[in-house]
C-alpha cells in the first residue's frame, strides 16, 4: 500500500464515500465535485462509483471493490472502502454539507501557510496572485453550486420568473441565433484591423438599450479612445472629431442633448482599460463591478492579451481560455471575448474559420458560440459575420454595414425581390 498523508478532511471524505456506496450516490453527485476529495484514494472511489452508475452497474460496497480491482487494480482504494464502511452512516445532505465546509477551510488554511512561507517569496507576485485566485474560484465553485432536477425544471416551465436572462447583440436577424447566455464564453474572432472592437462597442450599446448593464475590459485601447468611439456611436457623429475635439457647437449641443435624454441607458455602459491584467484577476474584477453596478454581460478585448503562466503561447492561451470559461460560470454572466486570428498567407482564399484562432484549440473547445468577422473584398464598409459554432442552435451568416465615421454597425436590411417588368 502506498504512503499517504492524512488530512483534516479525511473523516468527512470517509463518511461521504460510505454514503456514496450505501445508496446515496445519486444525491451526492449534484453537490460534490472532484475538488472535494483531496485524498487520492477517496477520489478514485468516487470517480469509479460515478463511472459504474454511468455504465448501468449496481453501485455497492462489494461491487465497487470488484470493479476497482478488475478494471484498475487499485488495492489502496479498496482498502479505503473498507475503512469508510466503518464510519458512521449519515444522510447524504449532512455528508455533503460537512465535507464542503471542511474542504473549503482546509484550502484556506493551506493558502495561508503558503503565503507566509518562503515559497511565496521565491515564486513572485504573479504566482502568488494565481494561487489566491485559484482558491477563490475553487471555493466559489464548491460553495455556490446549484442543482435542479429535470422534474423541477419541467414543472416550472410555465413560470416567467424562471426564464433565463438572454442578451442579444442587437444586429437584426442574427439575434435569433447569436444569443449570449449567463455562464458562457462567446468568441468574436477576426484578423487585425477588421472591426472587432467596433462591433464589441456596438454590442455594448445595444445591450444598454435592452436594459442590461455591461462591463467593457479593454487591454488594447486606452479608455479615452473607447469613450470617444462610444460617444460617436450613441450620438451619430464623427469618432475622429470627438477624439480630436474638433466638434462644432451644433455637434456639441447634440451630444449633450443625447447625454441628457438617454442618461440611464448611457450609465449602463462601464469600461476599464488596464495597462496589463492577469487572467486570474478577471473574476474579482467582474464580481466587483457586478456588486456595484449590477452588470449582466462582460466584453473582453481581447483574450490573448491577458497575462498567464506558461512556457509557450499555446500553454498561456489554454490557461486563459479555461479561466474565462470558469469565470463566466462563477460570476453568472456571459463573457464576449475578442480573439485574434492568424493572417492568411498570400493567395489563400476564403473567410476565416475556427481553425484560424491564434495559439490554442482550447478556445475553440470552450466557447459556447464563435463568430468570425471579415471585411468584404469589394466594399470595405460591409462586414461579413459568420456564426460558425453555436451550442444552442443553428448557424448563420449575414452582412453588416460599418460606418467608419460614426463607428456604427447595423444590419443590412434584405431587399425584397422584385421581378423585372
**Model confidence band, residue 334 (pLDDT cutoffs 50, 70, 90):** very high
- Cβ atoms of residues 202 and 269 within 8 Å: no
- Confidence (pLDDT) at 415: 47
pLDDT in tens, 218-234: 998 899 999 999 999 99
- Cβ atoms of residues 212 and 397 within 8 Å: no
Q: What is the dihedral of CA 304, 307, 313, 318, to 10 degrees?
A: -70
- Confidence (pLDDT) at 139: 56
The whole-number average pLDDT for the span 21-45 is: 85
**Model confidence band, residue 217 (pLDDT cutoffs 50, 70, 90):** very high
**Model confidence band, residue 358 (pLDDT cutoffs 50, 70, 90):** low
Mean pLDDT of the chain: 84
Does pLDDT of 193 surpass 90? no
Q: Which three cell numbers stand for residue 268?
A: 449602463
d(CA 364, CA 359): 11
> 326, 305, 55, 81: which is closest to 197 by C-alpha?
305
- Measured on CA atoms in the order 206, 207, 211, 215, is the torsion positive or negative? negative
pTM for the model stands at: 0.66
Q: Which domains does the chain have, with CATH numbers?
A: 10-144 (1.10.860.10), 172-411 (3.40.50.300)
Does pLDDT of 287 surpass 90? no
pLDDT in tens, 51-90: 888 777 889 999 999 999 988 899 999 999 999 999 888 8
**Model confidence band, residue 257 (pLDDT cutoffs 50, 70, 90):** very high
Does pLDDT of 419 surpass 50? no
- Cβ atoms of residues 318 and 362 within 8 Å: yes
Better-scored residue on pLDDT, 143 or 109: 109
Q: Which three cell numbers stand for residue 148?
A: 435542479
SS3 at position 340 = strand
- Confidence (pLDDT) at 122: 85
For 229, phi then psi, to 5°, come to -70, -40
- Cβ atoms of residues 272 and 215 within 8 Å: yes
- For 124: left if phi > 0, alpha if psi spans -120 to 50, otherwise beta; the answer is left
Q: How many CA atoms lie within 13 A of 296 on its CB side?
A: 18
Amino acid at each position: 500500500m502506498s504512503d499517504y498523508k492524512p488530512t483534516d478532511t479525511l473523516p468527512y471524505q470517509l463518511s461521504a464515500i460510505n454514503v456514496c456506496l450505501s445508496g446515496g450516490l445519486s444525491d451526492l453527485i449534484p453537490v460534490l465535485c472532484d475538488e472535494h476529495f483531496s485524498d487520492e484514494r477517496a477520489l478514485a472511489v468516487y470517480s469509479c462509483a460515478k463511472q459504474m452508475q454511468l455504465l448501468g452497474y449496481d453501485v455497492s460496497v462489494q461491487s465497487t471493490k470488484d470493479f476497482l480491482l478488475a478494471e484498475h487494480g487499485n488495492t489502496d482504494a479498496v482498502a479505503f472502502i473498507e475503512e469508510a464502511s466503518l464510519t458512521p452512516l449519515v444522510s447524504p445532505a449532512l455528508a455533503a454539507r460537512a465535507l464542503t465546509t471542511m474542504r473549503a477551510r482546509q484550502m484556506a488554511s493551506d493558502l495561508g501557510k503558503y503565503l507566509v512561507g518562503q515559497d511565496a517569496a521565491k515564486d513572485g507576485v504573479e504566482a502568488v496572485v494565481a494561487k489566491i485566485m485559484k482558491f477563490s474560484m475553487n471555493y466559489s465553485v464548491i460553495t455556490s453550486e446549484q442543482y435542479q432536477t429535470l422534474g423541477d425544471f419541467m414543472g416550472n416551465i410555465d413560470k416567467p420568473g424562471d426564464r433565463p436572462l438572454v442578451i442579444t447583440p442587437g444586429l437584426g436577424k442574427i439575434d435569433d441565433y447569436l444569443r449570449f447566455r449567463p455562464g458562457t464564453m462567446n468568441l468574436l474572432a477576426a484578423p487585425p484591423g477588421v472591426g472587432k472592437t467596433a462591433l464589441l462597442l456596438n454590442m455594448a450599446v445595444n445591450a444598454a438599450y435592452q436594459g442590461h448593464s455591461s462591463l467593457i475590459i479593454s487591454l488594447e485601447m486606452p479608455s479615452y479612445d473607447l469613450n470617444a468611439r462610444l460617444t460617436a456611436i450613441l450620438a451619430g457623429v464623427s469618432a475622429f472629431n470627438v477624439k480630436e475635439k474638433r466638434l462644432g457647437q451644433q455637434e456639441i449641443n447634440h451630444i449633450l442633448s443625447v447625454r441628457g435624454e438617454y442618461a440611464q441607458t448611457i450609465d449602463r455602459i462601464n469600461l476599464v482599460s488596464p495597462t496589463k491584467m492577469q487572467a486570474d484577476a478577471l473574476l474579482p474584477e467582474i464580481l466587483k463591478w457586478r456588486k456595484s453596478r449590477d452588470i449582466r454581460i462582460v466584453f473582453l478585448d481581447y483574450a490573448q492579451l491577458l497575462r498567464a503562466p506558461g512556457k509557450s503561447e499555446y500553454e498561456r492561451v489554454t490557461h486563459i481560455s479555461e479561466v474565462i470559461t470558469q469565470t463566466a460560470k462563477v460570476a453568472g454572466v456571459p463573457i464576449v471575448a475578442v480573439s485574434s486570428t492568424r493572417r492568411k498567407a498570400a493567395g489563400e482564399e476564403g473567410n476565416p474559420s475556427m481553425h484560424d484562432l491564434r495559439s490554442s484549440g482550447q478556445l475553440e473547445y470552450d466557447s459556447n458560440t464563435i463568430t468570425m468577422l471579415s471585411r468584404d473584398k469589394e466594399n470595405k464598409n460591409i462586414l461579413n459575420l459568420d456564426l460558425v459554432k453555436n451550442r444552442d442552435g443553428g448557424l448563420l451568416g449575414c452582412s453588416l454595414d460599418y460606418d467608419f465615421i460614426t463607428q456604427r454597425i447595423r444590419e443590412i436590411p434584405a431587399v425584397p425581390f422584385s421581378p423585372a417588368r
